[in-house]
Structure 1
Amino acid sequence: MSDNFVLTVACRYFSAKKNEKFVSLISGFSLLGVTIGVAALIVVTSVMNGFHLELTKNIIGLNGDITITNVDRYITNYDEVRQSLNHDYIKAVVPNIVGQALAIGSRTNSGVLIKGIDINDLQWKKAILQNVVAGQFGDFSSNNVIAMGSELAYLIGAKIGNKIKLISPNTISTAFGSMPRAKEFTVTAIFNSGMYDYDVATVLMPISAARNFLSFEDNSINLIEVYTKQPEQAELFANEIQAILGEKFKVTSWQKSNRQFLNALAVERITMFTILSLIIVVAAFNIISSLVMLVKDKTKDIAILRTIGASQQQIMLIFICNGMFIGLIGTVVGGILGASFAYNIDNIRLCLERVTDTKIFDAAIYFLYSLPSDVRLEDIILVGVLSIFLCFCATIYPAYKASKLNPVEALRYE
């Protein structure tokens, strides 16, 4: 007997008959479950990939791949340190002065992080230079100018040309005793780095102005940022630099500085993948139910097929193919829907926010201004293979029971 009839019979059983509406309904729910499960898995994995990619890009773009600090707080021998870092994998070594202050604005006050950096070294912070929303960095050389993130500017009510008072925790001696150092600065640029936390708390100023405002000694700094040609290898490079500089310095890679955060993202990705996989498992159980009922309904047909020469293997393949039609169709449709949603997830988010008039994705909570998504072919293939495998496993038991049906017993009372 030709094996072509296996697919023919399986296709005929797959299409609903008038007296098989209930079986068809269960099969429809199974198909819907597989479709939703596959689509949800693709969307979630794409969003988690997007979060990891965007946050990593922002972390690297806003700060150096490697940071160097001194255990005694101040670095007074920057030139010596710079000369010792002459490896081929290093693109730039940037001196910084970092400190805290209170910004006094027309709307409110806010604690800020001051970063003093030379105008020439800003070229390594492309996430800032390429996203200036107001003003410019052309005048970023005077001792009385600053640049700030867009969220901070909105929070304290600052605009280009406004004078903002900064109060340093360092004190100065006056005739009335010790008082915090305070100075007014002109806002010359407002930027949007793409990372909410950075934009809501960061003030940039020329390194000479930061040195004077934070009461640093001449030629002293407290932070060195190292930019490498291979950021993904920053942890290895940091260990090499630590060995060169010795215990007096603390060398930290961006992976180590954000390890807990990155590990949390990885755990969340695995957890969400596992939980959403249960949707496909539930759909697979529905496939078992529909096939068991189909076998019961087709008992007479199975007996006739066995009588005219169909083997147990062919009977088993008929019902495996019948169940796999559900798995394959659901996987393909779910993959298309999931990829479509993932590619347009931020537009969908904006549409839902307009319709419901609620803030679904708050930058203050998720650190980013837009909902990121990174659709990867390997993830789609992984989800597809997982779905087809689970659906295949679901067909084995009902198909096996069908193949073991005794045609004599089935036709005894017909």
Structure 2
Amino acid sequence: MNFPFFIARKYFLSEKKKNFINVISIISMVVVAIGTMCLIIALSVFNGLEGLLRSMYGNFDPDIVITPSAGKSFEYDSSYVTKIKNIEGVLGASEVVEDNVLVQYKDAQRLVRMKGVSRDFDEHSGIRNVTVSGQFPLVRDSIGYALVGRGVQYDLSLSLRNDFYALQMYYPKDIGPGVVDPSRMYNSLNIMPGGIFAIEKYYDDNYIFVPVEWARDLLSYDNRLTSFEVYLAEDAGASEIKKEIQASLGDAFKVQLGEELHSDLYKVLKIEKLFVFLIMVSIIGIASINIFFSLTMLVIEKKKDISILFAQGATPKLIRKIFLYEGCIVAFTGASIGLVLGVGLTLLQEHFGIVGMGVDSSIVNSYPVEIVTSDVLFTVIAIIVITLLASIKPAIKAGNSFSTHTLQ
């Protein structure tokens, strides 16, 4: 006959004489809970950092970048812009001229990355969201202004309130041999600083935005550009539009999504997140060794009780099921507590910023966090696998006790 499962399990649990086994089970539960909580929090921090980077770069980078397949510039053709803007979901396409130039302000000078942009950049880019002082856009009342990174501002001791000093930019000419007049070896441009932006250290320390007409004059590009930057509607499918643009412009151009410009950084973050996941799962696995030992000792302690249950009609399958169930109770109880604590602490950090960055000049005041459902799912799956691996050997040993007692 089939022996009732819950009656058999209650028979095992009715005796509470072995406190040592109970203590080990409680310790296992606590360690699994702490490991699960730390895993959820650590993965949420990596998600938050990735989201922070995407939001920062999103203020600087466009949705799609179009560059020449060969060389660093190409001849501008209005048909290119027409083709791009005729694609559904495209809001604008900015003409871009970008190169390294020497900039001087009063007696200070340094190399910067000058980026000349057209009016679509003023209208659609997120740079206005990170303009910390001055005004935007770059062209106001037909007068062009420069938007300067905060790091460049510090290096040049630049002041927006001083209308007597302009930024002086220099770019070498493509000259032939025999030229000895220094003034003929470079182009120069004077432009007033109109605003300061702050995104991220690399951009703040290196970039200056100017109107594309000014950049063309300085670089002697005439009718040439270095790239197009395309801005899309929020609900537009970037991957599909990328394919349409590539098919429309042909192999002469290279079309990339904005996030592909930082693909290496995102890959590093994902690899670090993977290793953190594996390390924390390993810790939970080590904690599950306690489950293995507690169940093994329980099997040894309950040999006589197992024999009695066999005599009353219990099967080896039922005994194995009881011990697997006990291991799952310990692990799942700890995991459930850990999940609640991990998700709860993460939500508190997300809404109230309990743990700060500890740096006054940081971009955000507190550590960014974000809960992703897949992380919780993978954590639960990992705990299930670890629990089964830790419990299956003692359960098999308990089920085989019947044959041992029979032989005796």
Q: Report matched runs for 1:210-229 at 5 Å.
A: 210-217=215-222, 219-229=223-233
User: Are the equivalent residues in 1 in contact too, given 2:94–2:230 (CA < 8 A)?
Assistant: yes
Q: Residues 156, 291 of structure 1: CA spacing in aligned structure 2 closer, same or farther, 3 A cutoff?
A: farther
Quote the residue 1:303 is aligned against: 307
User: Are the equivalent residues in 1 in contact too, given 2:93–2:120 (CA < 8 A)?
Assistant: no
Q: Equivalent residue of 2:225, what SS?
A: coil
Q: Residues 311, 69 of structure 1: CA spacing in aligned structure 2 closer, same or farther, 3 A cutoff?
A: closer
Deviation at 1:82, TM superposition (A): 1.3
Q: Residues 362, 349 of structure 1: CA spacing in aligned structure 2 closer, same or farther, 3 A cutoff?
A: farther
Q: Residues 370, 240 of structure 1: CA spacing in aligned structure 2 closer, same or farther, 3 A cutoff?
A: farther
Q: Which whole-Å deviations, capped at 9, do the CAs of 1:364-410 have from their partners, x for residues lacking one? A: xxx98864322022321221132123213311211221233249959
Q: Report matched runs for 1:259-408 at 5 Å.
A: 259-344=263-348, 347-350=353-356, 353=358, 371-406=367-402
Q: Equivalent residue of 1:405, what SS?
A: helix
2:261 to 231, 242, 257: 257
- Letter matched to residue 214 of structure 1: L
Structure 1 residue 34 corresponds to structure 2 residue 32: yes
Deviation at 1:256, TM superposition (A): 4.4
Q: Which moved more, 1:303-312 or 1:289-298?
A: 303-312
Q: Equivalent residue of 2:196, what SS?
A: strand
Quote the residue 1:92 is aligned against: 92
Deviation at 1:291, TM superposition (A): 1.0
- Letter matched to residue 64 of structure 2: I
Distance 1:10 1:202 in 2: 72
Quote the residue 1:187 is aligned against: 193
Structure 1 residue 79 corresponds to structure 2 residue 78: yes
TM-score (norm 1): 0.80
The alignment covers a number of residue pairs equal to: 394
Quote the residue 2:211 is aligned against: 206
Quote the residue 1:65 is aligned against: 63
User: Are the equivalent residues in 1 in contact too, given 2:356–2:366 (CA < 8 A)?
Assistant: no
TM-score (norm 2): 0.81
Distance 2:166 2:308 in 1: 90
User: Are the equivalent residues in 2 in contact too, given 1:302–1:407 (CA < 8 A)?
Assistant: no
Deviation at 1:66, TM superposition (A): 2.3
Distance 1:188 1:149 in 2: 11
2:22 to 24, 29, 35: 24
Q: Which whole-Å deviations, capped at 9, do the CAs of 1:194-251 have from their partners, x for residues lacking one? A: x43323322112222323333332x543221122347985455444433433444333
Quote the residue 1:197 is aligned against: 202
Deviation at 1:148, TM superposition (A): 2.2
Gaps of 5+ in 1: 354-358
Deviation at 1:74, TM superposition (A): 4.0
Let me know the Cα RMSD of the aligned residues. 3.6
- Letter matched to residue 113 of structure 2: L
Quote the residue 1:356 is aligned against: none
Q: Which moved more, 1:395-404 or 1:45-54?
A: 45-54
% identical equivalent positions: 25
Distance 2:364 2:207 in 1: 16
Distance 1:108 1:301 in 2: 88
Q: Residues 292, 68 of structure 1: CA spacing in aligned structure 2 closer, same or farther, 3 A cutoff?
A: same
Distance 1:239 1:270 in 2: 31
Q: Equivalent residue of 1:258, what SS?
A: helix
Distance 1:108 1:40 in 2: 49
Distance 1:106 1:28 in 2: 71
Q: Which whole-Å deviations, capped at 9, do the CAs of 1:2-30 have from their partners, x for residues lacking one? A: 433245346557xx64x533x33432332
Q: Report matched runs for 1:124-143 at 5 Å.
A: 124-126=124-126, 128-137=127-136, 140-141=139-140, 143=143
2:45 to 44, 47, 51: 47
Distance 2:106 2:300 in 1: 78
Q: Equivalent residue of 1:111, what SS?
A: strand
Deviation at 1:288, TM superposition (A): 0.6
Quote the residue 1:169 is aligned against: 171
- Letter matched to residue 216 of structure 1: Y
Deviation at 1:139, TM superposition (A): 6.6
User: Are the equivalent residues in 2 in contact too, given 1:3–1:314 (CA < 8 A)?
Assistant: yes
User: Are the equivalent residues in 2 in contact too, given 1:150–1:190 (CA < 8 A)?
Assistant: yes
